[in-house]
Structure 1
Amino acid sequence: MPDKPRPDWDPRSDTVLSNQIKAYDAMRRRCPVAYSDYLGWSLFRHEDVVQALDDHQTFFSSVVSSHLSVPSGIDPPRHTAYRRLIERHFEPERVEAFEPSCRMISSDLVSSLQRGVEVDLVTQLARRFAARIQCAFLGWPDSLHQPLLQWVQNNHEATLARDTCAMAAVAHEFDGYISQLLEARREAGAAAPQDITSDLLRERVGDRPLNHEEIVSILRNWTVGELGTITACVGILGHYLAENPQLQQRLREGPRLLPAAIDEILRMHAPLVANRRVTTRPVEIGGRKIAAGERVTLVWASANRDEAVFGDPDEFRLDRDPAQNLLYGRGIHVCPGAQLARLELRVLMEELLKRTRNIALAPGRQPTIAIYPASGFSSLPMLIR
């Protein structure tokens, strides 16, 4: 077995965790294909990340975990059947039908924020919105809001520590929540709620029904992706608008600009830091030779800020080519819930801007930046008027 490369950086150093976006910008310029003991090989440039995504059949496998992960942790041809099944649950008609519920939740949460006193936009809006919107879309009870938020926090801590025992315990805890929901629907039979969770019990892959493990994996993937990234998105959007009052007012007066503005803000500050792959054969990328079976980390938070594609990565522009934005991934693993996420964020931002006169950072208070694997902010003191 060849010797491991000498580490080029430490993803868990205080310097990196204190400001991930700044650190990844520096790595993209200094060492765009970098090795670390923690993440394996990390790709920071847009060009290299796109190569990894587009060459999935040749070089990069998505099977990175010993646990079943449907569909993101499965390669073709198995991936194709699962992906087709999952996409049916995010068809435009179903997403559009969810808008009234999404607006009611958004309006309720924005209205509940106190005016003229300091509020934490992360804990009092972003996390609550993510939990409520996820449970509403999947047909889950309100009693799961707080347990799910605590579960996401535990999952992040175990992932950062790379504590395999803790990660297994976290997965087992989530599986318990889902198993209870599924068992209740099985017992109810025809009287079960007509929602996505019940639909999955009737789904088939190939010539057989989905089994219990597959259903739990699908719901776990949706929940991890939704709760963490939607929370991060809301914090990032709120922070950017507070720091840019002219844009805030422009969007308040012209909400039709919100979809493009949201995608651009989240390009600059990614809500999802990275995804993993494994090489299936030796490959040379960015001038570095990577052996077969090596872990590879695709750093979205850097690729979407690559000067070679976007020029000044911090320049806010509404006329960028959306095909270059990797916010929701690319290729066979592009996020199937992208349209749903865009609707949820648009509606929440519409309600936030419509029901306020101004949102600003709280004087004398600093936001707390979230640390890997989370992104955005873990606290965001603000004044709402």
Structure 2
Amino acid sequence: MAPSAPFNPPAADLPNKPSVPEWVPPPVTQQKENFAQLKSIDLSLLDSDDPAIVDKLIQDVKVAIRDDGFLFLENYGVSLEQARQNEVATQLHRQFSLAQYLYNNISEADKERLLFSPEKGRHRGVPDGIEQFNWYKPDWEDSKRIPTCLQPFMDEIEAFCNYLTKSVNRRLLTLFSRVLELPDDYLWENVQSHGSPTGEGYFRHALFRPVEKSTEEASKGLRMHGHTDFGLTTLLFSVPISCLQIWGRDEKWYYIVSGGHFKATRHRVFKPPVDQLQSERLSLVLFNSSVGDMPMSPATDSPLIQREGCIEEQGIYKEYKKQMASGRPVPTNRQWREIQISTATDPTDTTHNRVGVHQVVIDGQIMHQREYLGMKVVLPV
């Protein structure tokens, strides 16, 4: 595999680009919370000429994705240093600055045109304080689907997403392929979707604003339900506001600074520590997607799976096994993600978010339970 090149974004100071105020990260919490201890993965080590270093990297990834499903990536190619002498912001902070610019400058006309109505809440109910704009495949192809204020910067945003998908994500998939003892490009060529800067996935600018007390009480502090993502990989950039939590092996929620062998991380968005309650949390996320028409099934070509089999207690695999054994067709990747997204409820929905409706008690724990396409999904609240 050829050594990876660092991100080289388009210039930010071209004449047609308005000035963008720099995003200033908010201070970290001073509260003593339960923070997850994540495995740090230096992605640049994949380029090492020393086979022992690469082998250790693969083993570290294997442990991390089986135990936590969450990797803390370092040295992945996007700089946190000023890449050019005249740059004000780092490469990564420039992208946060553009996201901040969107929420400060989107016009009322664009909100109406793009059905951008965050003040009414995602379900037109209790305001949830979450504003977000997603780039799906059609949005990359038609500038009219993009807020006008961001159009001068689309070269930077598109270059960023192309690099994340085709370099960072591809290197991750190389590591995962090696864990499965498959050829380096197996997952990239056979599972990853293509055809746009985000394939069949999407890129998100999200802003979590402080919520009213009535909203916090209705949701019991939840901003997003406990869930697993529905795609292939999710690239999320760490920010100082501590809202994201993962479900630990000891069945407790831990904050992070923001076939069963690969664990789908159970995570949720919760209210931040008390000293960050009035702070906004700006978020950049790229959701990489598998090929939508591909049926959900284990990678049976994998020598690892052939040798060890699938791990039934991981995630939804046991339900898939029942479905396959009964002769019923398993859903495609697209069906699986779309049914869950389309039927999601808001944390403030007290009609459904209660025991006997969408919640059950298992071993003393309140769990969220839904059935999708004949398969039961149980996740921590």
TM interval, shorter chain, is under 0.3
The structure with more helix, counted as a fraction of residues = 1
The structure with more strand, counted as a fraction of residues = 2
Q: TM-score, normalised by structure 1?
A: 0.25
Structure with more contact order per residue of length (Cα contacts < 8 Å, sep ≥ 6): 1
